[in-house]
Amino acid sequence: MDYSLYLVADADYAAGRGLAGLIEAAVEGGVTLVQLRAKSLAGGAFVRLGLAVAARLATKGIPLLVNDRVDIALACGAAGVHLGQEDIPVPLARRLLGPGAIIGVSVNTPEEARRAEEEGADYVGAGPAYSTATKETPLPVLGPAGVGRVRRAVRLPVVAIGGISVASAAEMASAGADGVAVVSAILGAPDARAAASELRKAFGR
């Protein structure tokens, strides 16, 4: 699994700007993994969006994960889910999705990362790496040092998320991250394909 450039495709952030098309352009620019996040969509609308995105990604060989919702992941044939600390426990998600599913967990501390590893997660998302306006959180910003501490705590792949830009992607690579996850750096850019390409080069792993 290539975690190097991980797009969190947030339907609320995209605000109707043709999310499926933005995802496709980002993949052409170098995105290696996509997570679909849609906090405000009803289940039916979320499934329809998931099916449309999954169909496009299948032709590119890019895995699709779904944020929080195991039921939506199952309904649209996603490769797995990404879970927060307050979401369904990893062992239960594994039981529902099966042994081949990809399960990621958001973490803010080395202790949370170790617990995710013990419970059978496939990777952890360490954040917020920097301050971010795309997701409200009371959690402390990790910075390169904090991401490095998470990296040293586990054997799992570590993806840095939160406030990452072209300027800071190299810092996350130096901190030991296996990938960077972004929302606004791609979805908020004038050209999603070019933005993805620049991020991929900046991360350099």
Q: What is the mean pLDDT of residues 118-139?
A: 90
Q: What is the pLDDT, as a whole number, of residue 48?
A: 95
Q: What is the pLDDT, as a whole number, of residue 14?
A: 86
* Total structural domains within the chain: 1
Q: What is the CATH number of the domain that holds 54?
A: 3.20.20.70
Residues with catalytic roles: 37, 106, 135
Give the confidence band of 17 by pLDDT, cuts at 50, 70, 90. confident
Range of the domain at 26: 5-203
Q: What is the mean pLDDT of residues 179-191?
A: 96
What is the pTM for the complete model shown?
A: 0.95
Determine the Cα–Cα distance for residues 52 and 162; give it in Å rounded to an integer.
26
Give the confidence band of 138 by pLDDT, cuts at 50, 70, 90. confident
Cα–Cα–Cα angle for 138, 150, 23, rounded to 5 degrees: 70
Q: What is the pLDDT, as a whole number, of residue 116?
A: 98
SS3 131: coil
Give the confidence band of 136 by pLDDT, cuts at 50, 70, 90. confident
